[in-house]
Structures are given as structure tokens and as C-alpha cells.
Amino acid sequence: MASEDAAAQARWENDLAITIPLGDEAYMVTGLDKVQEQVAGAIKNQSHVFSIVDLESDHLIGRGMLFSVNYVNRSAMLGIVIGEPEFQNRGYGVDATRLLLDFAFNLLNLNSVMLGAFAFNERAIAAYRKVGFREIGRRREARLIGGRYHDAILMDILACEFTGGFLKLPEASATAA
């Protein structure tokens, strides 16, 4: 994540079509100053927050993060958003989720990553399943949006279930002492 990403992030956080599926972000207007402060804090604290960029155009299209990292129990929560509508439904979310899991399992040495999604966010749930997440629970009527209740789905994946990582480790040398 870089400080120049704040303007796009603020735009996404103020777009209800993007934030309602995410959760609490939809309930407050987010100013550019606040997002710049959050980005600066994430950089300063070396948080696990990453920009998602289209490699062809070098265009910022989203954000992914690992949060509530617990190094004792080797677990974390995952959050992701593809904020640019023209890049949605093109596989970027699946690839970015795989990269986050690769980082979580192969560099941070975590064992379990969990996330939450609203039941109406079928596109996200399908992407999470494609990567290997499994539903582990459902909180019925957890969120009231527009006069209708929606279930919250909890999903997780274990390190032993994760396949398809991008990280390429150097081969061990046969002559290493």
C-alpha cells in the first residue's frame, strides 16, 4: 500500500455498491484526510495491507489485507475489495486472495485464515470457495440493510488445504553444509 492509493480508496469507501457487501464501511462517509491517515498508519505500523494492481496497466484496482493476526494461535482474518467495477468478475479477486494466503501461510507461517461475507454476496463466496475456503458457520439475520435481514457467513481455510501458491522458494543446495 502506498500513500498515493488513498484517493482511490476513499472513492471506494464512499461508493455504496462497493461498501455494502463489505460491512461496516457503508455506515460512514470517509474523507480523503481520514483515508490518508489510515494509509500512513498502515505503512508506519507495517500492517499487512496491500494494494491490488492490474499488471498490464499498472492501475490500482483494489486492496487486500490480513488483520487480527494472532501469532500465538497462528491465525488471521482476511479482507479484500476490488474497488474498480471494470475489474470485477475478471479473476483479480481470486488471484489476490491466493497471494494473500500464500503470504499468510508461507511467509507468516499462519495455520488458519478466516473471513466473513454476507450471504447475498454470492460472487465473493464463489471466489472464496474457488481458492479453498469452506463455510464454517452462519449467523442468521446478522445485518439489517434496507429493511431486510441478511445472514453473515464465516469461512476459513487451513494451511494444509491451501494449494496454488505463487511463492517460489529457492531449492536447497545439495552441497549445503
131 in the Ramachandran plot: left (φ > 0), alpha (ψ -120 to 50) or beta?
Answer: alpha
Which among 27, 92, 128, 149 is annotated as catalytic? 128
Residue 52 half-sphere exposure, CB side, CA atoms within 13 Å?
Answer: 24
Beta strands in 1-133 (DSSP E): 48-54, 59-70, 75-82, 112-118
Catalytic, 71? Answer no
Known catalytic residues?
Answer: 128
